[in-house]
């Protein structure tokens, strides 16, 4: 974890030590988290869920300000961070349209970040380039949270994805998780596969040939002794699957539109197909979907993608409270 302004406090009781561990730190990659960290984050997220159910909004982060800086489109990530901050009593500087900010005048990312940290206590950043959050964090004294850096990582999404698995199925231990669709450009699966490698899981990657999981990620996960296999056909692995994680083919990352057209409809999850899956399993999707899960499946109890969005609110509330030292 990248260390910012505050000193570690080893003399504090355990809960406070965990708080000190996250206080003032960046969240850039899932590789910075241990299993212990995840248990702590999920415990705080659970408390946030209960507080929201009981009183909706409370004053834990009153007086704190979040800069929500998005250089790429977003509905869920951006609005869930806004909702998370406001439910904790804080406020938000929303920059969703960088073309209306000084970015359109040619301002560099380091300068934009150094500006925003004068006005805010934490910066959430989505950017089309891999490593943009790490670059921003190098220049910022305040914590930076990576909300997606191109085809790189999307760590807060992976945390909410894992939290969804834990809430819905009890634990990730021993599960077979099948990732379907665009595994090459999908940053959510890059982060989630890495995070799942902390557990005893089987990972199944189903994609068209040109959209396979990057070999360097497979190698990284292989070094942790995780059972991984690659497939073209979903039916080869559907029966053994406990979590089917569906992704959108990332149209905006293709250089040649013809390549996109060739693979865009490669897989469609629909009710008939899901008859051969387990009764006790879940289907997830980071959303937005553009046809890869048929709406006829939405009312199936195994369809967890709408619940997954809600879990994201609690995880992001937990993360904001933690990096601002209030968990």
C-alpha distances (whole Å) from 286 to each of 158, 189, 301 are: 9, 9, 17
Binder to ligand NCD among 287, 304, 315, 321 (CB under 6 A)?
287
- Residue 28 or 327: which CB sits closer to ligand NCD? 28
Binding mask 185-214 for ligand NCD (x = CB under 6 A): --xx--------------------------
Instruction: State the DSSP string of 30-57.
Output: GGG--HHHHHHHHHHHHHHHHHHHHHS-
Does 308 bind ligand NCD (CB under 6 A)? Our answer is: no
Residue 142 binding ligand NCD, by CB under 6 A? no
| Cβ atoms 27, 51 nearer than 8 A | no
x/- letters, 85..124, toward ligand NCD (CB under 6 A): ----------------------------------------
Phi, psi dihedral angles at 314 (to 5 degrees): -70, -40
Q: Exactly one of 127, 154, 190, 316 binds ligand NCD (CB under 6 A); which one?
A: 154
> Around Cβ 6, how many Cβ atoms within 10 Å?
11
Query: In the bound complex, what is the minimum distance in angstroms from residue 189's beta carbon to ligand NCD?
Result: 9
Site string for ligand NCD, 27-66 (x = CB under 6 A): ----------------------------------------
Among candidates 137, 156, 189, which has minimal Cα distance to 5? 137
With CB under 6 A as the contact rule, the residue among 286, 314, 315, 320 that binds ligand NCD is 286
181 touches ligand NCD (CB under 6 A): no
133 touches ligand NCD by CB under 6 A: no
Rounded Cα distance, 131 and 114, in Å? 17
What does the CA dihedral 91, 19, 29, 139 come to, rounded to 10 degrees? 60
Residue 155 touches ligand NCD, criterion: CB under 6 A: no
Q: Which is nearer to ligand NCD, 201 or 247 (CB)?
A: 247
Q: Is 77 in the site for ligand NCD (CB under 6 A)?
A: yes
Residues 185 and 211 sit within 8 Å (Cβ to Cβ): yes
**Residue 118 burial (CB < 10 Å; 0-12/13-18/19+)?**
exposed
Distances (CA, A) of 267 to 48, 59, 65, 247: 36, 45, 42, 10
| Minimum separation from the CB atom of position 56 to ligand NCD (A) | 24
DSSP element (H, E) containing 126: strand 122-127
Give 202 or 248: the residue with its C-beta nearer to ligand NCD: 248
CB of 17 to ligand NCD, least distance (A): 31
In the bound complex, what is the minimum distance in angstroms from residue 21's beta carbon to ligand NCD?
26
Residues that bind ligand NCD (CB under 6 A): 76-77, 148, 154, 157, 187-188, 248, 286-287
């Amino acid at each position: 974890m990248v260390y910012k302004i505050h000193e570690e406090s080893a003399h504090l009781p355990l809960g406070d030590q965990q708080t000190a561990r996250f206080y003032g730190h960046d969240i850039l990659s899932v590789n910075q988290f241990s299993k212990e960290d995840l248990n702590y984050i999920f415990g705080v997220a659970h408390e946030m869920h209960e507080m929201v159910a009981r009183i909706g909004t409370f004053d834990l982060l009153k007086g704190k300000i979040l800069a929500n800086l998005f250089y790429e489109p977003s509905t869920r990530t951006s609005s869930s961070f806004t909702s998370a901050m406001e439910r904790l009593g804080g406020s938000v500087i929303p920059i969703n349209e960088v073309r209306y900010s000084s970015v359109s005048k040619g301002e560099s990312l380091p300068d934009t970040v150094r500006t925003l940290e004068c006005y805010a206590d934490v910066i959430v950043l989505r950017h089309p380039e891999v490593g943009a959050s790490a670059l921003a964090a190098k220049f910022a004294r305040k914590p930076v949270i990576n909300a997606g850096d191109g085809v790189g990582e999307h760590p807060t999404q992976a945390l909410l994805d894992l939290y969804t698995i834990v809430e819905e199925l009890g634990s990730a231990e021993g599960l077979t998780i099948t990732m379907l669709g665009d595994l090459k450009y999908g940053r959510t699966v890059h982060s989630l596969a890495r995070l799942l490698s902390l557990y005893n899981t089987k990972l199944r990657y189903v994609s068209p040939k040109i959209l396979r999981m990057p070999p360097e990620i497979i190698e990284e996960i292989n070094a942790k002794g995780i059972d991984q296999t690659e497939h073209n056909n979903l039916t080869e692995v559907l029966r053994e699957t406990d979590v089917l994680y569906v992704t959108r083919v990332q149209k905006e990352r293709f250089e040649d539109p013809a390549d996109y057209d060739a693979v865009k409809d490669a897989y469609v999850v629909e009710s008939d197909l899901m008859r051969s899956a387990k009764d006790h399993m879940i289907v997830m999707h980071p959303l937005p979907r553009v046809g890869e899960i048929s709406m006829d499946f939405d009312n199936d109890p195994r369809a967890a993608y709408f619940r997954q969005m809600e879990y994201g609110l609690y995880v992001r509330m937990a993360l904001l409270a933690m990096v601002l030292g209030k968990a």
